[in-house]
Chains A and B, each alone.
Chain A
Amino acid sequence: MKKLIAAAIVAAASVGLATAASAGTLDNVKAKGQVVCGANPGTAGFGVPDQKGNWTGLDVDYCRAIAAAIFNDPTKVKFVPLSSKDRFTALASGEVDVLIRNSTWTMSRETTLGVIWAGINFYDGQGFMVNKKLNVKSAKELAGATICVQQGTTTELNLADFFRSNKLEYKVVTLGTSEEAVKAYDSGRCDAYTTDRSGLAADRLSMSKPDDHVILPEIISKEPLGPLVRQGDDQWLNLVKWVHFALLTAEEDGITSKNVDEKLKSDDPEIKRVLGTEGKFGESLGLSNAWVVQIVKGVGNYEEIFERNVGPNTPIQLTRASNALWSKGGLQYAPPIR
């Protein structure tokens, strides 16, 4: 009931305010001099304050990329940390211009909440963590295992689906919160622990001996995470969408924050279009034609963002997997800039 009321309020508000709040978001942003970005209040690798209190993370860098595209200054961002309860309300009411906060793209959210996803910046999904001692290489070898899971989540249902469809026996230990589940697994009550892969990576660090645990390659559910905006402002939607594609295209064309100045001299027509030395692609978004140069100089390309925040050299140690470019066997695919 509560959820119904909340959804009704959000829907009513988004309909009522869609015209007032979202017409010309880009103009509003330019007038304010900053992008107001709904951000994560603390998820390792995606949005978390560092030692000095500066926000860091994959989602945070996406906000900075948008600011760099508009203002040529990645610091012109106001981060509004939002809990999972109030994130969509904040977007609908115009408190934030764009929401980049590990939000899973689902049909019901997009059809009832008045929001629209601009892309998928991280393909997440449910995975398993096991102790290295078990010498398990695949989730399909987990027959008969005891598995720790948080109660009352889709995680629990996905787990049941996976084992049933693979005709494997398993025992489940359900716990109230994710912290309890992590503790139970760490203390040896279960052979494996399951939650979203990005969460697994961060939870691994909370183990008393992090290096004794591995994350198995299987992903048993779809959790596409990405930036989203209010419905009804296609110009702003396009901008956010193409900032994402620009980051991917820059990686595809080998344009990095280090070599972007050299690449400006390139004769490759594709690179010329991307970097704005040919054509007027930036202007058509309401930006300067050097928008990709600004983004890449500000935050780097997708690969650099990924490696800096969640990649193998960070404590989180995620591999690209589904988030690799399509040309390298992943799912990240950007339509051409032309």
Chain B
Amino acid sequence: MTTSAETHFIRSTFKEPIAPPMRTSGAIHWLRENLFSSPLNTILTLVILYFLYSIIPGIVDVLIIKAVWVAEDSKACVADVVGHPVGMCWGFVGAHWGYFVFGQYPEHLRWRPELFFALEGIGLAWLLIQRIPRKDLGMIYFFVVFPIVAFFLLSGSTTLGLEVVQTHYWGGFLVSIVIGTVGIVISVPLGIILALGRRSHMPVARSSSVVMIEFIRGVPLITVLFMANVMFPLFVPEGWRPDSLLRVLVGVALFFSAYMAETVRGGLQAIPRGQYEAAQALGLGYWQMMIKIILPQALKIVIPGIVNNFIGLLKDTTLVAIVNIFDFLKVIEASLNDPVWRTSGMPFAGYLFAAIVYFILCYGMARYSMSVERRLATDHRH
């Protein structure tokens, strides 16, 4: 037995790992694995590369190199006038920048919507960036303080010494963001309450939640908007009608609350019964159980669904153009009719600009939600 100890060799340090073979790592490996793994894939890769090669220079040429960046009117963007071929007329966007962002909001008061954007940015960063502490204060800021401040900031108040700006002066990106923000700020809490109500054992809470959710989900958003802005004034006398933008905001918020409620309810249903029983066994009351045990798990599950609702909401803000609220897309469309700017190529520049802005916003939200999901993946995935 003693001899065996002597014959044994015990390593005291780890051996240096050998670099993996060339074929399983590095750029060449990635190319082989992803682009040239089979004859068919090789052919497809080459075809796509040729396709990109043939269109990208043209796109870059039109969008950037030959584009007109500064223009006084449409003449600067007409090839016959400037004497050489022209690309995209970004000067149209540049000249209308203030109108596209703020609508007809009075120019000397535009610091107020600018401050609104900044405050909203702070709130979003606070809630969305992981490293910033005190999310509880952040929630209170974004869902309570910010909406109140934003209201007085944008609409003004004589008692606070801020000049009143009626909502028919609001427009453009400002209105899109206001509608999107109000939709999000109201639909999340209201949706959670409706979802809890629908799963409640109290008959009044349950039936009223069910009626509200099903009624609103039973009609398209356009109908809700049309009711709010065209039909509603027929039923109430003059002087009793809220502002038309307010009516639209209420309609949008209620509409998305119903969808949010169903999303959240899906999360609630996914929580095993044992979680409820364990919470009750610990002696927690209903609200403690919901806030401390159930909702944190349920909401985590439905993050993709909630973000999906947000993206849908942001895109659906363009529907308010139907009831003549001048949102971001509608101000661009209206400007295209301006005879000073009207040419055959102008609509393309305007609509492309709108597409780029909406894409950045929606794609940004989608990417963020993916990162949140990865971060919260502490879970029961098998």
Contact = CB atoms under 8 A, between A and B. Distances in A.
Most chain-A CB neighbours within 10 Å: which of B166, B231, B237, B340?
B340
Contacts of A28: 238
Interface in B333-348: 333-344
Most chain-B CB neighbours within 10 Å: which of A42, A78, A83, A314?
A42
Nearest to A6: B230
Given A48-B337, A315-B339, A315-B340, 12 more contacts: A17-B234, A20-B237, A42-B337, A43-B337, A44-B337, A51-B95, A51-B99, A51-B341, A53-B98, A53-B103, A79-B168, A86-B324
Interface in A36-79: 41-45, 48-54, 78-79
Contacts of B322: 83
Contact of B342 (A93, A186, A206): A206
Contact of A51 (B166, B233, B340): B340
Nearest to A56: B338
A273 B291 CA distance: 77
Contacts of A210: 343
A81 B324 contact: yes
B168 A78 contact: yes
A276 interface: no
Interface string A6-40: 00010001000100110000001000000000000
A316 B339 contact: yes
Contact of A50 (B171, B230, B233, B340): B340
A51 B244 CA distance: 25
A180 interface: no
A148 B338 CA distance: 24
Given A13-B234, A83-B322, A89-B230, A53 B331 contact: yes
Interface of B: 80, 95-96, 98-99, 102-104, 107, 166, 168, 171, 229-231, 233-234, 237-238, 241, 244, 322-324, 326, 330-331, 333-344
Contacts of A206: 342-344
Interface string A205-227: 11111100000000000000000
B344 A49 contact: no
A90 interface: yes
A33 to B, nearest CB: 11
Contact of B233 (A43, A94, A208, A316): A94
Most chain-A CB neighbours within 10 Å: which of B104, B241, B323, B338?
B338
A294 to B, nearest CB: 23
A41 B324 CA distance: 8
Contacts of B80: 209
Given A48-B339, A315-B342, A316-B339, A53 B171 contact: yes
16 contacts: A9-B231, A41-B330, A42-B337, A45-B339, A48-B334, A48-B338, A48-B339, A49-B335, A51-B96, A53-B98, A86-B230, A89-B234, A95-B241, A205-B342, A206-B344, A207-B344
A108 to B, nearest CB: 21
- A-B pairs, top 4 by smallest CB distance, nearest first, are A53-B99, A42-B334, A315-B339, A205-B342
A202 B346 CA distance: 14
A80 interface: yes
A42 B234 contact: no
A230 to B, nearest CB: 12
